[in-house]
């Protein structure tokens, strides 16, 4: 039976990789809805090739999209707008699978809507889970959603865990013989930079990742190691494990995508060439396997695998995230919001690279933590943290 797919954030790096997989398997998947925030010309090309039933864009882009779809004789495609449109396609009764690939907090409500509608949700949008943690996981259980990790590390961990690991009790302790999760990190483009060198790096340099080609925001996060911090929080929620059982390992080649250690001394790893098509295909077809164009790993070529401890004095973002997870409540939401603001400011050359973690730290220290009781509380604190972080950007 063919599955219908909704791709939130289709014009992004993950969205594009998802289309690559779908076009290889036209009998198994059809595209029901796609969403984009900008890049309307690319969106129209996607509509031409994949004939979705519904497209979602911001309201200020609707007229432009309508004209361009008309010009291509694609006027049968329904256009929806803004967050209401995103939520509508994410929870649509005709959709089986939702790829959550919007970047940042903008993806929270549509991802949550997909989870509430009990979909198979392929989670790339880690910020949504970092912000809403327990609520997202609780909602997935309540509404029987299948929340599958697309982030390469979490997908690797998922593949290396015992088969029914996620279905059994969740209490923060490793179980079923698992003792520890090893979360790998490439270390980003500035792995060996001194603090002085880090102060002078440009957005262009930060966006040039040595192994992965990704959107701008996650590229900067990879360079600060905040990406690994967000992923640490993501892992704690997805696998119901306390932060003390997750160790970050720098592995510059990005061939081992993460590992799980067991009490008997075994360590299981998932390996492969660094291409997001592999975790996307895995999450899409799980528990089956489907073909991708990703070439098999050649260990005679990739014959150097190195590992080292992260240096949190040069990359303090990792500790900020670990601390936020430890204290819990709204701290991860504040961390994420402040980071989004600081990264955007760095990309616009308003602050230095090394000021990103400082702004996150100051924002965390300026807002009183409280329990994350509801989505409304989370959205409120997200807004508040953005305002506070903006003040630090202006006053830096």
- Reading the block at residue 184, the tokens are 């790998």
| Contacted entry of Mg ion, ligand NAD, none for residue 276, CB cut-off 5 to 8 Å set by kind | ligand NAD
Other CB atoms closer than 10 Å to residue 167's CB: what's the count?
A: 8
Of all residues in this chain, which one has the CB nearest to Mg ion in the complex? 151
Helix (H) or strand (E) holding 158: helix 152-160
Q: Based on CB atoms, which residue is closest to Mg ion, 193 or 257? A: 257
Q: What track of x and - describes contact with Mg ion for positions 133 through 152 (by CB under 5 A)?
A: ------------------xx
222 is in an annotated binding site: yes
Cβ contacts of residue 252 below 8 Å, gap of 6+?
Answer: 186, 187, 191, 210, 306
| Contacted entry of Mg ion, ligand NAD, none for residue 381, CB cut-off 5 to 8 Å set by kind | none
13 is in an annotated binding site: yes
| Contacted entry of ligand NAD, Mg ion, none for residue 212, CB cut-off 5 to 8 Å set by kind | ligand NAD
Local structure of residue 172 (DSSP, 8 states): B
- HEC string of 260-317 equals EEECCCCEEEEECCCCCHHHHHHHHHCCCCCCCCCCCCCCCCCCCCCCECCCCCCCCH
- Contacting ligand NAD within 62-101 (CB under 6 A): 101
Count of residues binding ligand NAD (CB under 6 A)?
24
Place of tokens 């790993």: 297
Task: Quote the least distance from Cβ 71 to ligand NAD, whole Å.
Answer: 21
212 part of the interface to ligand NAD, by CB under 6 A = yes
Closest to 37 in 3D by CA, of 12, 13, 63: 12
- Reading the block at residue 384, the tokens are 């508040």
Considering only 130, 276, 280, 343, the residue that binds ligand NAD (CB under 6 A) is 276
Q: Based on CB atoms, which residue is closest to ligand NAD, 21 or 106? A: 106
209 is in an annotated binding site: yes
Q: Based on CB atoms, which residue is closest to Mg ion, 89 or 181? A: 181
12 is in an annotated binding site: yes
> In terms of residues, how long is the chain?
396
- Reading the block at residue 103, the tokens are 């970047």
Q: Based on CB atoms, which residue is closest to ligand NAD, 111 or 261? A: 111
365 is in an annotated binding site: no
Dist. CA 369–CA 33, nearest whole Å: 38
Assign residue 330 a region: left if phi > 0, alpha if psi is -120 to 50, beta otherwise? alpha
13 part of the interface to ligand NAD, by CB under 6 A = yes
CB 196 within 8 A of CB 327: no
CB 9 within 8 A of CB 103: yes
Contact region with ligand NAD (CB under 6 A), list: 3-11, 172-180, 292-300, 319-327: 3-11
Considering only 46, 47, 102, 233, the residue that binds ligand NAD (CB under 6 A) is 102
Q: What residues make contact with ligand NAD under the rule CB under 6 A?
A: 9-15, 36-38, 101-103, 106, 124-127, 151, 212, 214-215, 218, 276
Which residues contribute to the annotated binding site for NADPH? Answer: 11-14, 125, 127, 215
Q: What residues make contact with Mg ion under the rule CB under 5 A?
A: 151-153
């Amino acid at each position: 039976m063919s599955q219908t797919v909704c791709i939130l954030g289709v014009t992004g790096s993950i969205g594009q990789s998802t289309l690559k997989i779908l076009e290889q398997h036209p009998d198994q998947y059809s595209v029901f809805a796609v969403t984009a925030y900008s890049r309307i010309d690319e969106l129209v090309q996607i509509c031409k090739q994949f004939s979705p039933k519904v497209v979602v864009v911001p309201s200020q882009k609707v007229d432009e999209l309508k004209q361009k779809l008309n010009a291509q004789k694609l006027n049968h495609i329904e256009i929806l707008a803004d967050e209401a449109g995103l939520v509508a396609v994410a929870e649509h009764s005709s959709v089986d699978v939702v790829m959550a690939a919007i970047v940042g907090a903008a993806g929270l409500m549509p991802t949550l809507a997909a989870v509430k509608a009990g979909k198979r949700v392929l989670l790339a949008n880690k910020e949504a889970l970092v912000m809403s943690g327990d609520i997202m996981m609780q909602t997935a259980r309540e509404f029987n959603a299948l929340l599958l990790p697309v982030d390469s590390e979490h997908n690797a961990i998922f593949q290396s865990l015992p088969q029914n690991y996620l279905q059994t009790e969740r209490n923060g302790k490793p179980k079923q013989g698992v003792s520890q999760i090893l979360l790998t990190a490439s270390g980003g483009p500035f792995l060996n930079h001194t603090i002085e060198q880090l102060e002078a790096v440009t957005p262009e340099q930060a966006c040039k990742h040595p192994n992965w080609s990704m959107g701008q925001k996650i590229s900067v996060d990879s360079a600060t190691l905040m990406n690994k911090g967000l992923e640490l929080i993501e892992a704690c929620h997805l696998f119901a494990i306390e932060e003390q059982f997750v160790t970050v390992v720098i592995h510059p080649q990005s061939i081992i995508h993460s590992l799980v250690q067991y009490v008997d001394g075994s360590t299981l790893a998932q390996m492969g060439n660094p291409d997001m098509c592999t975790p996307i295909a895995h999450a899409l077809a799980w528990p089956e396997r489907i073909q991708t164009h990703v070439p098999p790993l050649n260990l005679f070529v990739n014959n150097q695998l190195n590992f080292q401890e992260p240096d949190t004095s040069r990359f303090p973002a990792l500790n900020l995230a670990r601390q936020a997870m430890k204290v819990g409540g709204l701290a991860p939401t504040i961390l994420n919001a402040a980071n989004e603001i600081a990264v955007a400011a760095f990309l616009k050359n308003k602050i230095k690279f090394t000021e990103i973690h400082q702004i996150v730290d100051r924002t965390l220290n300026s807002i009183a933590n409280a329990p994350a009781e509801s989505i409304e509380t989370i959205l409120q604190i997200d807004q508040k943290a953005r305002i506070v972080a903006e003040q630090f950007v202006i006053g830096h």
